[in-house]
Amino acid sequence: MSEDTVLILDGNSLAHRAFYAIPLLSTQEGVFTNAAYGFMNMLRKVMGDFGPGYLVVAFDKGRQTFRTQAFAGYKAHRKSTPEELRPQFVIIKRLLQAMNIPVLELEGFEADDLIGTVVRRAEARGLSPFIITGDRDALQLVSPKTKAVITRKGISELDTFDEDAIRDRYGLRPEQIIDLKGLMGDASDNIPGVPGIGEKTALKLLHEFGSMEHILENLEAIPGKVRDKLVEYSDQAELSKKLATIDTDCPVDIDFEACRLTPPNLDELIPLLKEYEFRALLKTFLAEYGENKTDAGQRFFQEGRSYRIVTSAGELEELEAEIRDASGVAVEFGASGGHPLQSAVESLYLSVEPGKAWAVPLGAFAPGVVRELLGPVLADPRTAKYFHDAKLALHYACCLELELNGVTSDVMIAAYLVNPGIPNQKLEDLSLAYLNRVFDPPEDPGLVGCMRVDLINHLKPVLEEKLEEADLHSLYRGVELPLINVLAGMEQEGITVDPKQLKLMSRELGQQIDELTQEIYGLAGEEFNLNSPKQLAVILFDKLKLPILKKTKTGPSTSAEVLEELAPYHEIVTKMLEHRQLMKLKSTYVDGLQALINSKTGRLHTTFNQTVTATGRLSSTEPNLQNIPIRLELGRKIRKVFVPSAPDRLIMAADYSQIELRILAHISNDQVLINAFHEGEDIHTRTAAEVFGVSPELVTREMRTRAKAINFGIVYGISDFGLSRDIGVTRAEAKLYIDNYFQRYRGVKEYLDRVVIEARDKGFVTTILNRRRYLPDLFSSNKMVRNFGERTAMNTPIQGSAADIIKLAMTKVDDEIRHRGLKSRMILQVHDELIFDVPKDELPEMTGVIRRGMENALTLSVPLEVEIKIGPNWYELTALK
């Protein structure tokens, strides 16, 4: 293209295409952005493809135009703009303004008319217009100077039309497109045309007569029914042509100099891209237009900055002195891949202030030299240490036999608290989000390490300011940072596994799977691949004629959900469900665990993820020990393989009793619920008595079971439909139970209603300790999505507060274990339960330590209670009295 090219975009058309091409996206505050994001990507694509000298975007303004005055039915059948799309036009226009791209809109005219006006005036100036639209009406504007580019499949495919292309496609000149539309009409715009005349007939007439006017002047030459239709609907045909004709002389001023393409205004654009969380676009614009372009040698990190490589003991001593004189130091390790506890750590990077960093290549020194000279200051808790992922750094320090104390900042955790919707944010992502800097690492690993540790120092004050703004600093300092050392210790300790028990379970499961496979073959009357959904579908639906409940692109569904519904129809379905469960247990939780046992320690060293879940709960990976399917007896038996680390030790498990219901009592301030907990009543029996209107001594086991489902269902915002399904009653009965519950526990009802209203007002909910969770689903026009958002608003303060309390408890218990010099170790956390490896002679002391730490973790209006069990493994546990 050339500087004479004018790119004219149909803003409405592209925004609608983007909206339907991309699934709904929203910011953490619930602002919908998918159309705006897609529009910006479309814009960048066409700018790159066409390289224009000028660019302008036209939009409709209002629904009343000269066409609706001529014909009230014009576009009358069109659905109104989706509520999720409507506000995004404002976002798109804000972004265009920041990109210095003019927006044209005029009351009473459509975007097509403004496009036509720009086209003709551009042609008069000797420029070459290109129209970008999804609407073929624009073909009428094509001329020797003007081309129309029609979008397909969002904007992934473009059809460019010049005069020759229109002639090839329709056999018409561009101006005849108006006649074509006048004759055949346009259902999308509700232009009536002539009933009974479609594109084929209309083209035949135009090829013969040239225009609608000539057709109507030569009706006697047109045979039969077509002539009759034209006679009957001639006025409608002329009106349709008028409606289809684009006005190319709108009363609008067009400043072509203002349309000349210039670099964006980054001071306006960058804050907008951050506000709408367009991280990829932010990175792209900064890389193209920002100060620290990658081809400029990472100016941000190098100009006026001091990065030094330490190669002598004298320099190490100088570095040690500088760290001691500083208020704190950012720390980063360079290591090869593999498990953090088995990594080869190759380098250490330190930065005492932004712009200054030291690289210490460990291979340049004799063994022990770095530890001897830097070890004391790194172990000194009086020198603050800053990290990105401090837990990982603690593991690397362990590999070097370095002690690392004084963890006072972790920018990964700070960013997680600020925006929990984005898990495990990388340093380069934080650089982009909070410093407007593209971190594009060079090939030199030493320089990369210095840049990373420098970034930590730059990010620390920015993120801590955001924590203060959101009132999250206490949660950060009092809960999350102290937990890092606890989790690192648990991961390093690991949990002992009995390999003989694992092999035995694997063999037993294998035998059960083989027996079950033969039973399924017998029921099917033939052998087939049980792991093939396609072959299973043939057996179930073609051979056994079971009803097809759901279809996928590849055929009838055999998902677990479908099989659950089909189970009553045939025994083979029940057997298939059981087969899948056993296969999952064997592959994931038996054979899978064997592969993850550390060859040096003989233990499993799971990783606890502190910055993943939106609620604040910890998660566990490699292996996931929080997700063992204990509802099945076989699943529970897997816990047999987790044993103490020595014969004179036991497994001790401490589990919070009904912690979520206790938190519900506290935050709802429901006096009936509070009294029940203070009086030590069985809460499910109490609820059953309240809901079913009987005295506690008359509550049956079935009543208590149903009350338990209600209690926990209420916490998760359960509906009458959900409760009826869970406990096997009618929806009417379930509704009655829920109504009775809320009649007795009025405070709970008021809280649940209030928290949803407050969440809509703020866009987020908080836990007792002020942890936030943003809830964009609350603002969806989709009722199911919105209902899910409401249930999340009800549950998150409860589940998140439980997560906060267990984290506090872990820190308190761990502190006391170390303060007392005990040999007991905390080895696992599974939601509301803590697991310990305890010497038998420490059992009485540990019982007190655990009760104090867990039951006094946080003061609520109801007591926190803990049930403690001990046993020879995690499965065979007996409650302590």
Give the integer Cα–Cα distance in Å for 635 and 628.
6
Q: Of 163, 167, 161, nearest to 134 (Cα)?
A: 161
Query: Biggest alpha carbon distance in the chain?
Result: 112
Which amino acid is it at 426? K
R_g (Cα) of the chain, nearest Å: 35
Walk me through the domains of the chain, giving residue ranges and CATH numbers: 5-173+246-259 (3.40.50.1010), 295-493 (3.30.420.10), 497-604 (1.20.1060.10), 661-797 (1.10.150.20)
Q: Which of 17, 32, 14 is nearest to 84 (CA)?
A: 32
* Residue 718 token pair: 């359960």
Q: What is the 3-state secondary structure (H, E, C) of 604-628?
A: ECCEEECCCCCCCCCEEECCCCCCC
Per-residue pLDDT at 251:
92
Q: Which whole-number Å values give the CA distances from 737 to 661, 688, 731, 745, 750, in the listed order?
A: 18, 9, 10, 12, 17
d(CA 210, CA 340): 77
Output the pLDDT for position 296: 33
Question: 410: which 2 tokens?
Answer: 């972790």
Question: Taking the chain (881 residues) in consecutive chunks of 10 residues, what is each chunk's mean pLDDT?
Answer: 87 93 86 94 91 94 75 72 89 96 91 94 95 91 94 75 92 90 80 84 88 85 83 83 88 93 92 90 85 42 76 95 95 88 91 94 92 96 97 95 96 96 88 84 86 95 96 97 98 94 91 94 94 92 91 86 89 93 89 88 94 94 85 83 96 96 95 93 88 88 88 82 82 87 91 94 94 90 87 94 98 98 97 96 97 97 97 94 73
Q: What is the dihedral of CA 795, 797, 803, 806, to 10 degrees?
A: -120
Predicted structure pTM score: 0.83
